[in-house]
Amino acid sequence: KTYQMDFANSDEALREVELDIAEGADMVMVKPGLPYLDVIRRVKDNFNIPIFAYHVSGEYSMIKIAAKAGIIDEQKAFYETLLAFKRAGSCGIFTYYALEMAKQLQK
């Protein structure tokens, strides 16, 4: 058996967060983040704990490959993706695109 939760059951995610908090967690990470924006929102609405989204390498790679192929605008796609994490309720985002985004936001 693995630590993976049932991806079709967001109630299970809430139970796990409740257990983690009871065991002393001071933050929660949702990984992978993009397919679980609803879980991020539900955790935000139900618990008073910082929530971090992990923008995993597969999500990052899909955008990079699509941009390289000319299918999408890389900067816009990453901005929209990272903003979706924030809109869902993430306090912070772990992403391989952090340095590039920081440079863009300084402009």
**Confidence category of residue 7, pLDDT binned at 50, 70, 90:** confident
Q: Is the pLDDT higher at 7 or at 74?
A: 74
14-65 pLDDT tens trace: 999 999 999 999 999 999 999 999 999 999 999 999 999 999 999 999 999 9
Rounded to whole angstroms, what are the CA distances from 51 to 2, 3, 18, 48, 78?
Answer: 22, 19, 13, 9, 20
CA within 13 Å, CB half, 11: 0
Tokens, residue 49: 């704990």
pTM of the model: 0.89
